[in-house]
A and B are shown apart, each in its own frame.
Chain A
C-alpha cells in the first residue's frame, strides 16, 4: 500500500471530490460498509471488532480490574471514582510503516486523543496521569467499590490490525460497542467497622452490572479537508491528499465532546464551523445506526443463551 502518491493522482482525487464523485464512486458524505461484532475475545470483560470494508480493522478490548483509587493530592478529587485507562496500539503487521518504532508517534497521538475525548475536563492533563478523571458520559462514581480505597479500573485497549484509512472513527465505534458489551461483576461490601471494609466479587455470571452512562459515550467523525471541500471516511490515498483533518467527537445528545485538528494545513474559520456542524449531524446519525446494531446483537446473544445455544462468534476471517 502506498505511502506515496503522484501529483497526477492527487489532482484527479481533488477534482473528483469537487464534483462529488470520489475515486471509488462514493459521494463526499458516504461511508464504506462496516462490519461489527461484539464479544469476540473471551478473556475480556467486553470486546468488539470493527472492520471497514477495504479499510481499517480494529479490535477493542475492555478489561475491568480492581485497583486503588487515585486521589488528586490538591483537590482531594477522585476518592469516590473509578478510572478509565486507554491505550491504542498499531500492530506492526498492520502496515509497512508500523514496523519497529514507526508506530510510536501514531500510537501516542491516538491514545492522547482518545483519553481527551473520553474525559470531560482537563484536570487529567494537569495532574499528568493518563487516566480520565472526568467521564465521556460514563459515570465513574458507579465504578467505585469502597470510597477512598478500591475501585474498578477499566482498561480500554485498542489494537489496530489493518490500516486502510479512517482509523479514529473505527476505534471509537469499537470502543462504544465494547463498553456497551462490558459486563462488570457485582460486588458485596461488608462494613467491618472502624472504617475497615471488605468486599467480595460475586461469581455468578448472571449477576453483572453494565457500565453506567454507556449510552452517553461519544463517537467521532473524521472530516478530511481536500481542496475546498471535506469528505468522510477517507481511503489511504485520499488521506495522503488531505490538507487538514478535523476529528469531531459527538455524543447522542448532540454535544461536542472534543475537537482536534491534524495535519499541516489550515482551515478557514467559516469552513471550520461548517465542518463542526456537519460532524455533529453525521455523528448523531451514526450513533443511531450503531446503537441499533449493537442492541440487535446483544438481543440475539441473549436469546441464544437463554435457549442454551452458545452464541457463535465468527471472529477474524469472516468477511
Chain B
C-alpha cells in the first residue's frame, strides 16, 4: 500500500469485475493519438499483408468486407488508466487474413496510415484474440477512433489496437513499434500492468 492521503476518499466503485489493476472506468470514449487524424476514403483504402518471404497480398474495401465478419463484445483498457467496459464492435478476425499462409514468423508489425506502427506476437493476434474492426456500436468507425478500420486487440493496452491500420508485416524477430520505441512496454498486458518499458 502506498502513501495514504487521509483526505482522499475516492468516489469510484472499489470492486469492478473485469477491471485490471490501476484502471478506472469511464463512460466516454477518449481519443488519444500522436498527430492529425488521417482522412481515408474507403474507395482508396487498401490493406496489405506482407509475409516474411516477401510475398504480399492486398485487400481493397470490398475484398475486405467479403472476409468473415464477427461481432465483438469486449472491454478496452488504455495505458493512461481509463477502461471502457462492454464495447461493441464488428470486424474481420485477424485469423481470416492468415488463410493459406504458412510461416515460421512469430511476430507481426502492423502499419497504419500516418506512419504509426505497433508490434505484436502472433500468439496475441491469432486464435480469436484480435480483429480488424470497422464498426463501433453498430455505426461505421469514426476517423478519430481509427476509421475506416483499426486493429482491435482488447486483451492488451489500447495503443496496441492501432488506428487507421493498413498493413500486417510478418517479422522474424520482435521489434518495437511507434510507442514501444518511445518508452512504452513491448507487450502491454494490462493485467500485469505492462505500461512502460
Asked whether A and B interact, the reply is: no
